[in-house]
């Protein structure tokens, strides 16, 4: 009888530990999908499958920067790349920080 109770207690503890680990690993991607959305919009717009001018988005701005001759004359057309990179990295670092805060033992 004691062996059954100990086995049940062990199984419950293992299930709780597994549920905690699964919850932290799945909670962060659901809370921080913004970087994937930004990259998807930028990629689709730069392939001219997403938003089109006169709507302003990072992808539309990067389409204008694809002309090498225009970049040689107007190098500031590449500046939309900087906010895209910084924003995506910021969201990824925030997601990593949330995951580490939720599960510090991993």
For the cut 70, the answer to whether the pLDDT of residue 60 exceeds it is: yes
Three-state DSSP at 99 gives: helix
Cα(60)–Cα(54) distance, rounded to whole angstroms? 9
Predicted confidence (pLDDT) per residue in 70-101, tens digit:
778 888 877 878 888 898 888 888 877 877 77
pLDDT band at 3 (very low <50, low <70, confident <90, very high): low
User: What is the residue-averaged pLDDT of the chain?
Assistant: 76
Q: What is the pTM of this model?
A: 0.58
pLDDT band at 6 (very low <50, low <70, confident <90, very high): low
Domain boundaries, the chain: 2-102
Sign for the pseudo-dihedral over CA of 50, 55, 59, 61: positive
């Amino acid at each position: 009888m004691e062996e059954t109770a100990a086995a049940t207690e062990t199984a419950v503890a293992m299930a709780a530990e597994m549920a905690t680990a699964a919850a932290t690993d799945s909670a962060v991607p659901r809370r921080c999908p913004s970087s994937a959305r930004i990259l998807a919009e930028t990629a689709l717009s730069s392939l001219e499958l997403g938003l089109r001018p006169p709507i302003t988005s990072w992808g539309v701005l990067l389409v204008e920067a694809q002309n090498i001759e225009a970049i040689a004359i107007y190098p500031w057309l590449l500046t939309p790349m900087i906010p895209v990179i910084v924003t995506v990295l910021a969201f990824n670092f925030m997601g990593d920080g949330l995951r580490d805060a939720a599960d510090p033992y991993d």
